[in-house]
Every structure is written in C-alpha cells, then in structure tokens.
C-alpha cells in the first residue's frame, strides 16, 4: 500500500480557469518541476500527472499525489514490466502507442497540465478516446499565448518543448 500525506487544500483542478495571477501560476509550475525532478532522480515514473493528482496546501504549495500507477525505472526496463497507463487527456504519445513510459512521459503530461493551468483549457479537445489518442500522436499544441495574451511567449517555447511528440526531444 501507499500512505500519503493528507492535504486539506484540495486539488489543482479547482483552480483551473480561476483568476490567479500569472506569477502565482508560474511559481506553481516551478514547484511542480522540482517535485517531478525529485521523483525522477529516484527513478520513479508517476504515469498519471494531471490536475486532479496535484494538491494545493493551505500555505500555497503544490504537492504531487496519487502514486498508485507509479513505476520504478531500472535502466531500460520498468518494474512490473507495465505499459503506460493514466488519463487520456494527459497521456504522452509513447503511452498512446503502447510503449513503456519513462520520465519523459511524465514531462509531456506535466506540459499538458501547465497548458491547462495557463490557458484554462486542455491542449487537445476530443469527442472520443480514439480522437484524443490521434491528437496526442499527431496534432501540434496551439500556442498558449494566443489563448491568453497574459502568457509570456517564452512559455510557448517551454510548452512546445515539453509536449513534443518525440520523447528524445523532451
């Protein structure tokens, strides 16, 4: 079993689309990068990064939770030899292809979370699972700054890097 800290502040989903200063959202992004880096340095691949699994403490700090699908990366293999799982709206292209995930899959998912955090909408909209998978495999992410002009254009570059289709380029 996994025991996790209780975080009474609720999850990040509640804050998507809310009037939050851009500086606060960027601070949250930095915190999430740091948390994911911490996990990846310990060979943990989360596999289900999404706003519902990110919790905001009463002090305003973010914590990644729900490691129920997490895997331990050991060299080129993953324990349990599992293929990727997770939430379709945040799945990396390699998981959509049925390949085993690694830390780069989490980076893609985190990019999708950042996109939603900055714009108030998911990077891809789809009517079905198949359509969502195809978008993750082939569609380019629209520039976030075109949706929300408050977003500095440099963040478009960060999102493009995080959500590139080829894991080796993330």
Q: What's the 3-state SS for the chain?
A: CCCCCCCCCCEHHHHCCCCCCHHHHHHHHHHHHHHHHHHHHCCEECCCCCHHHEEECCCCCEEECCCCCCEEEECCEEHHHCCCCCCHHHCCHHHHCCCCCCHHHHHHHHHHHHHHHHHCCCCCCCCCHHHHHHHHHHCCCCCHHHHCCCCCHHHHHHHHHHCCCCHHHC
At 71, phi and psi to the nearest 5? -125, 155
Of 48, 66, 106, 156, the active-site residue reads: 48
Tell me the β-bridge partners of 54: 64
Is 48 a catalytic site residue? yes
By annotation, the residues acting in catalysis are 48
């Amino acid at each position: 079993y996994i025991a996790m800290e209780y975080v009474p502040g609720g999850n990040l989903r509640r804050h998507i689309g809310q009037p939050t200063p851009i500086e606060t959202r960027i601070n949250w992004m930095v915190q999430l990068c740091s948390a994911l880096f911490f996990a990846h340095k310990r060979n943990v691949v989360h596999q289900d990064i999404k706003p519902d699994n990110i919790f905001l403490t009463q002090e305003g700090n973010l914590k990644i939770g729900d490691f129920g699908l997490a895997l331990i990366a050991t060299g080129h293999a993953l324990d349990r030899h599992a293929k990727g799982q997770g939430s379709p709206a945040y799945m990396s292209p390699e998981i959509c292809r049925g390949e085993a995930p690694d830390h780069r899959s989490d980076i893609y998912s985190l990019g999708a979370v950042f996109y939603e955090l900055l714009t108030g909408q998911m990077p891809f909209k789809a009517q079905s699972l198949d359509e969502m998978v195809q978008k993750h495999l082939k569609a380019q992410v629209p520039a976030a700054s075109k949706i929300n002009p408050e977003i500095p254009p440099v963040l478009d570059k960060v999102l493009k890097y995080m959500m590139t289709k080829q894991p080796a380029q993330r």
